[in-house]
Amino acid sequence: MISSHIIFIGIIVFLVTIIIYQKLHQPSQDPHFPLPEHIGLRVSSNDIMHFLKESSENVKTLLEHRGIEFKMKVDPESMMGWIDTELLDRILLLLLSDTAKRLDQNGKVNIAAYTNQEYDSITIRISDNGPKMSETGLLIIHYMVAYHRGTIRNEYLERQGNTTIIELPIKKDAYEAEQLESETSSAFHIPSNIELRVPTIELPTGYEEGNSSLREIMQAPHSADQEFLRRAVKCINDHISETDYDRQTFASDMGCSVSTLYNKIRELTGKNISNFARDIRIKTACKLAKENPDLRVSDIAYQVGFKDPKYFATSFKRVTGMQPKEYFLQLRGND
């Protein structure tokens, strides 16, 4: 999936270059290039609001380091919907990175995310008090949003700043069947032969799909990538019950910056930092459940670092394909 998005972004940059060239040389025309037919678009069921908060955290540190005030509000706090997490993550990263470059120490960034009354689309509103966004940046983001079958508009007011509004469909039937990713196909991206603090556990079939490259990394002798992943997994396991073990502390324990950690985890696993940690926590939760099926779901949630049992259940289903209670019933049935 990662390579398809890289290819797609390359195509978009190429198209944008042509558009800008034509606009400069033919100002009276409004050229339009058809978007690729959603090549590689893979939407899956996610808690969108939690995803947006996690994804925005990847740039929050950079903004705050530059003295830029950052605020985010989502309504409702939790909501399931169908999105391409990789693509949306890149859209937010491009928007917020551009914002970080334009703003000074008195800068302010506000993000609001909310749904419509029918709960079939989500609106993401990003505003700042900086100078006008570049046309190139807007065009690139425009095509990425359109690729996700969404719409985007940008408004700029002198001395007030920019407001970018993105609307995306989040219902399953808004996408073609071949664009839908099964709830189990993108599960654990942690190779089974990493030596975790806990032994390998039984999970639904297919949870390691698409991990051949990772297995090769982990089996390669004296691999720097292998060592990096081992250390990263150990850090999460050493703090498995700590709900406040954030990416800043994680990066510090790994001896690198948050951006370096994010890029390396993304390169090796295809996950952002939050999802990488989530997969390890859920794997440990399954192990705890297998050891003691009589434990309450909430007890296990707290033991693996989730503050909210409801969000734990959502994450558990996202990773394993079933609710925790279903998993527990299966375990009890095997006794």
> 251 pLDDT exceeds 50?
yes
* 289 to 82, 198, 286, 299, 328: CA distances (angstroms): 29, 13, 5, 10, 7
pTM: 0.55
3-class SS at 168? strand
Using the structure block, give the residue that is written with the tokens 């503050």: 307
Decide the pairing of beta strands 80-83 and 44-47. Answer: antiparallel
Tell me, letter by letter, the H, E, C secondary structure of 214-244: HHHHHHCCCCHHHHHHHHHHHHHHHCCCCCC
Least confident of 94-98, 187-191, 222-226, 314-318: 187-191
Q: How far apart are CA 315 and CA 309, in angstroms?
A: 10
pLDDT digits (tens, 9 = 90+) for 88-126: 988 988 888 888 889 988 899 999 999 998 889 999 999
**Residue 136: in which H helix or E strand, if any?**
helix 135-147
Q: Write the Ramachandran bin of 305: left for phi over 0, alpha for psi from -120 to 50, otherwise beta.
A: left
Decide the pairing of beta strands 121-128 and 108-115. Answer: antiparallel
